[in-house]
Amino acid sequence: MKKIIRIFILLTFAIVLKTNAQDSSRLRISLLTCTPGNELYSIFGHSAIRIVDSNNVNDLVFNYGTFNFNDDEFYIKFIKGKLNYFVSVQQTEDFIYSYSAEGRGVTEQILNLSEQEKNDIKYALVENLKEENKYYQYDFFYDNCTTRLRDIISKNKQPNPILPYVMPEKTRFRQAIHMYLNKSEQHWSKLGIDLLLGAKTDKIMSAEEQEFLPENLMSAFDKCANQKLVSEKNQLTPPTFINQISKSLFTPNFCFWIFFSVVFFLSFVKNKFVSIITTGLDFTILFFTGALGILFIFMWFGTDHIMTKNNYNILWALPTNIIAAFFIRSKQHFVRNYFVFVACFLSLILICWNFLPQQLNVSLIPIILSLIIRMYGIISKKGNVK
């Protein structure tokens, strides 16, 4: 009996020694996923990597979502798509507290990694902290604070994880961001985003491309197809904030249909006072849509933003309208022909609305209808042409 006990103790001791020998790094690496916040910049959530190092007795979070707001050219760089983000590090306690204070939840997925994989990931993160490596040109869809973490983990995990689809396979980028915007009642933000983002946003996402969203990456790690990537999952702090954006009647769709109703009514009232009002209205509509068209061209050709290119909103917001606004009283034949062309062209856009290669925001329909009505209104005022 004593011999059996002695053998058992020796075997147990051998197993403990082998386990310690297999992983002497004493590292624990986790993916942290933060729930969406109330503001537009936080509405899609956030990701970071946590490293608990028992050898050095530290617990740190590596965050690729930091930028220098005090940069003198911050807004110029942001608009042109040249704003550099960088990786920063902070104590996990401070990181969790900052999100908890906003009522945002933090979920931890402890990764199933070998000693070598842990050391490689830590080395990659520490290398990225160096001044010459820390900065990168942020892209919301293709190179953000979440995709950076996925790439580091996937590169250093063997075999490379095969991450599955976590949304329907034919989901497009625009549909994915609409889900978050609709959920938080961000109707005006949704309109602004739909105005600026071009046809590339309507591309069907691959499984990998779906992971630009933090919650999608978390789900993909849970469902990793070729291996168990997550060994343990914990909620470090629960989401407690209540969406403070209450439902409002004054959505873009409602406001623009009211605007169309006013334009429609004024267009059929014939008196001098209303004629003055409609002249001012015509100038405003043409100038504003022309300015929008110029903005779309700038975002298309003058910035590094990938998704603002090929923007079909330029079909209704014609840049030439900004010049035409100053000729609404002209009776020149070419001016009249321009307004006839715009009215016919916009009518064609509405007919082909569902066949365009880009999903345009439906709240723009009353704006386009208002433009068509006012084009005919301008033409009817001209009478005889020279």
Report the greatest alpha carbon distance in the chain.
Answer: 119
Q: Whole-angstrom Cα distance, residue 315 to residue 318?
A: 6
- Of residues 84 and 117, more confidence is placed in 117
pLDDT above 80 for 13: no
DSSP category for residue 226:
S
Q: Which pLDDT value is given to residue 240?
A: 86
Q: Of the given ranges (16-20, 128-132, 357-361), which has the lowest mean pLDDT?
A: 16-20
Summarised one tens digit per residue, pLDDT across range 356-382 is 999 999 999 999 999 999 999 888 876
pTM, to two decimals: 0.87
What is the share, in percent, of the chain residues with pLDDT greater than 70?
A: 91
Give the chain's domains with CATH numbers: 26-173+194-237 (3.90.1720), 252-382 (no CATH)
Q: Whole-angstrom Cα distance, residue 63 to residue 46?
A: 9
Q: Whole-angstrom Cα distance, residue 330 to residue 386?
A: 10
Q: Whole-angstrom Cα distance, residue 65 to residue 46?
A: 8
Structure tokens that stand for 217 in this block: 């990456």
pLDDT above 50 for 20: no
Amino acid at residue number 197: L
Structure tokens that stand for 204 in this block: 């069907």
Q: In what order do the strands lie in the sheet with 230-237?
A: 135-137, 84-91, 58-67, 46-53, 27-34, 106-111, 230-237
Specify the length of the chain in residues: 386
pLDDT above 60 for 60: yes
- Of residues 20 and 313, more confidence is placed in 313
Q: Which pLDDT value is given to residue 306?
A: 93
| pLDDT band (50, 70, 90) for residue 146 | very high
pLDDT above 50 for 384: no
| pLDDT band (50, 70, 90) for residue 12 | very low
Q: Which pLDDT value is given to residue 35?
A: 94
* Cα separation values, 70 from 42, 73, 227, Å: 19, 8, 44
Q: Which pLDDT value is given to residue 386?
A: 43
